[in-house]
A and B are shown apart, each in its own frame.
Chain A
């Protein structure tokens, strides 16, 4: 079995990714709808991050998530990121920018043993903190990011603060490609480059789809790599299902520049039944019991 410095095998990462896809499909069937395609396109990225790249301490959160604790207020601040371990100076941080990917993060937390599988049963249930589009009270989430394009700016502030303090830990941001239609994203890149924030690494799930259809038809963002290089960022473009390639890309030295790893992905990856429904996969629900049964049968093979 091939292992790396961290002792994590490629098979282990692949198993996490398979688990994310299986759990997301399971939830979609049980709930009658879910952000399934996002989980399918990002499963390998999140598996690599949680399984291998991120240097995180043990979770300090309860294995079974507690009920929604209320909104932040003086003297009280819920921290879903406690599932990612303590925010120590030498530890990495993962900031989920595309909050619609919450289901994929929850599934990843289960796969790496940071959350109990029963936690997923609370998904999108009234009074639960395991929300459909999570907030900073939701497992694995540190920011409240359902309004797109804001996490990278917040990551800039966090990374600058960590740089000023001399923290050795890195700041990872997970973004979706649709966020590169938002003007604020480019303001954030401009500032992160200006302040030479080499402690930021951004993984982008370039799945080419958004609510209205294919990104190239809704509002083209390509050539994304050229755009980002134009801003002065370091950029790697890779197959977002090739774990080794992504790992190599993320290992590229970028001491004084934020690094963007553009992961080109497939929204039907692992559940090819969805191929025919492209590109309208933003929120997958089944039209009939008959269609649902096809996916139930498929789930048993995963």
Chain B
């Protein structure tokens, strides 16, 4: 597995090259949301709206009504928390083609509670007309502009930035409402999204060597959530389903899976890893993942409980299957 840098930045410049209707709106976070390259490449299509997110969201709605395709960039919290009414009345109700790129999902930032989007999916999933994608790797990021482009309505992208892993082949783009099957198995189904997929991959690789048959699905389309692969896999799993998300367990991926399982009449057990109805705090991603049971070892322990016996995976086992290196650069960056 490799680590890549500024994938969205490059992809946006490439994607917008032959689409003059694409405009980018920035909320004073141009460098932090990887749109400086767009600004340099297409200065006439870049609009600085300053630290005024309510205005920026409604403004985007106005431009979308006139046939432009606004790609709005800021930290997620400043969109869905600060400007929710504007998203709903100026964008979602009129079903306008505005693309919202929300950065700093969950515990990916040391910026603390004010910067950590821990409930964005729960909030925006409830908004009618909204489509939601969550990014887990470079291939997800490279695919998402294309996925969004086909959608006649607003789109929220839970975006990752700077150094991100390449977990999936670049020639196998992410598909709409289709989970990526990372391993096949019948004991336990693990459904993960976003940055949690890399952790879950480390865990499932170890679990497989210890004889646990794990089916691992990576989800990129959070809304709509009706993928047959998830339904069939959950139905097949002998010991239950485990969801792993960088988000509160109320209203996120775990809830999506729970709803789907209940609607299909499954009596299968479901365990959800995620933030357990709590805010987080400012610290490194690595530290927070461990503190809130969002790391590979937490996945292993959850599976152990589901199969009802110790599996014998150690930290050393996990270390040998590290998918990509953590870096401390995020902690040094100005917010």
Interface residues of A (CB under 8 A from B): 71-75, 77, 135-136, 143-147, 149-150, 153-162, 164-165, 183-184, 187-188, 190-191, 194-195
Other 17 A-B pairs with CB < 8 A, given A75-B152, A156-B62: A71-B128, A72-B94, A74-B153, A77-B95, A135-B93, A147-B85, A150-B58, A154-B59, A154-B61, A156-B59, A157-B63, A157-B66, A161-B68, A190-B55, A191-B55, A191-B59, A195-B47
Q: Is B90 an interface residue (CB 8 A)?
A: yes
Residues from chain B with Cβ under 8 Å of A149 in the complex: 54
Measured between alpha carbons, how far is A156 from B65 in the docked complex, in Å?
A: 12
B residues less than 8 Å from A147 (CB atoms): 85, 89
Provide the residues of chain A in CB contact with B49, threshold 8 Å: 191
Q: Which of B54, B57, B68 has the most CB of A within 10 A?
A: B54
> Contact between A191 and B95 (Cβ–Cβ < 8 Å)?
no
Provided the pairs A74-B95, A165-B66, A191-B50 are in contact, do residues A157 and B89 lie with their beta carbons within 8 angstroms? Answer: no
Complex contact A158–B63 (CB within 8 A)? yes
Closest 6 CB pairs of A and B: A157-B62, A153-B58, A161-B66, A187-B55, A187-B52, A154-B62
Question: Which residue on A lies nearest to B57, using beta carbons?
Answer: A153
Task: Tell me whether B52 and A161 are in contact (CB under 8 A).
Answer: no
Residue from the set B59, B60, B66, B94 with the largest chain A CB neighbour count within 10 Å: B59
The residues of B with any CB-CB pair to A shorter than 8 Å are: 47, 49-50, 52, 54-68, 70, 85-86, 89-90, 93-95, 128-129, 152-153
What's the dominant secondary structure at chain A's contact region? helix
Q: Are A156 and B55 in contact (CB under 8 A)?
A: yes
- CB-contact partner of A190 in B52, B60, B89, under 8 A: B52
Bound Cα distance from A208 to B152, whole angstroms: 42
Task: Give Cα A71–Cα B128 distance, bound, in whole angstroms.
Answer: 10
Tell me the nearest residue of chain A to B97, going by C-beta: A74
* Distance between A141 CB and nearest chain B CB, rounded to angstroms: 11
Known contacts A71-B93, A144-B89; A188 and B58 CB within 8 A of each other:
yes
A155–B128 CA distance with the chains assembled, in angstroms: 23
Query: How far, in Å, is A201 (CB) from chain B's closest CB?
Result: 16
Neighbouring B residues of A165 by C-beta, 8 Å: 66
